A = this chain, B = another copy of it.
Amino acid sequence: MEATAFVPGHVTGFFSAHPHEDPNRAGSRGGGVALSHGVETTVREGSGLTLDGEAIAVGPVERVLDALGVEARVACETPLPLGSGFGVSGAMALGTALAANAAFGLARSENDLTALAHRAEVESGTGLGDVVAQARGGVPLRLEPGAPGHGAMDGVPGRSRVEYLALGELSTEDVLAGDTDALSAAGERALATVRETPTLPAFMDASRAFADGAGLLTDDLRDVLDAVAEAGGTASMAMLGETAFCLGTGLSDAGYDPAVCRIHPPGAGLSD
């Protein structure tokens, strides 16, 4: 009656928003990186949600438990900051679905659990594409929006060190609730470029071009990306957070003291 799941963090490099009244069909196209830093979620009998030991309310987690028809005690642990573009709310939702399914013997399939967490994120307005990317792992390209059965994905092959530097929070809800037309046009261009040349350098270049085109860069974040470029690297912005990320040692080379992890090839799953 207790189970633990690990869900990788996920930084989106570029995306286009595709709202739809059916939350299974709503989602985003785009590309991102699944991270070896993620969220470990333990579900057992009881009630209440904690993140790193502190009580917290997270809409998508409550929706997942409601949809599964269970009451549970959910404890999440993560080195990643909330609200900074790492998909922490999506990871908590998907981890809760996977761990609750195992703890309570609910006999749902992996697609069912991913779809349930995806819908919970969409209905909460907290994300559009992190959950399906986190379920897949690697460097996921979201070719078509939506939950398993509706969306379609591919991946950029490759392994790499990842560095990131979180400067502050951005509200995904606020950005997604605003006018996303220009942003989405830039996202579609970036995705087409990376589908043409699915390599890690092309992914980073497209992400950097998208960050410029999307109009979401703060001055502080622009300074960091410029400093990495001057040092010969390519960093970009984790959508949607005031966070810089790069592959390799770009942030270190520019003199910053970033957190360090790796691309995480496996998708979300139960822990041994």
Interface of A toward B, CB cutoff 8 Å: 98, 101-102, 105, 107-113, 137-138, 141, 148-149, 152, 154-159, 195, 197-199, 202, 265-267, 269-272
Q: Which residues of B contact A108 (CB under 8 A)?
A: 157, 198
CA of A249 to CA of B202 in the docked complex: distance in angstroms?
47
Pairs A–B under 8 Å by Cβ, sample size 16: A98-B157, A105-B199, A107-B199, A109-B141, A110-B154, A110-B198, A111-B154, A112-B154, A137-B266, A138-B269, A149-B152, A157-B269, A157-B270, A159-B269, A266-B266, A266-B267
CA of A109 to CA of B105 in the docked complex: distance in angstroms?
37
Each complex incorporates copies of this chain amounting to 2
B198 and A157 form a contact (CB under 8 A): no
Tell me which of B113, B157, B195 contacts A157 (CB under 8 A). B113
Q: Which residues of B contact A152 (CB under 8 A)?
A: 149
| Closest Cβ–Cβ distance, residue A200 to chain B (whole Å) | 10
Asked, given contacts A265-B269, A269-B138, A269-B265, whether A197 binds B157 with beta carbons under 8 Å apart, the answer is no
B110 and A270 form a contact (CB under 8 A): no
Tell me which of B154, B269, B270 contacts A109 (CB under 8 A). B154
Q: Which residues of B contact A110 (CB under 8 A)?
A: 138, 154-157, 198
Q: Which residues of B contact A202 (CB under 8 A)?
A: 107
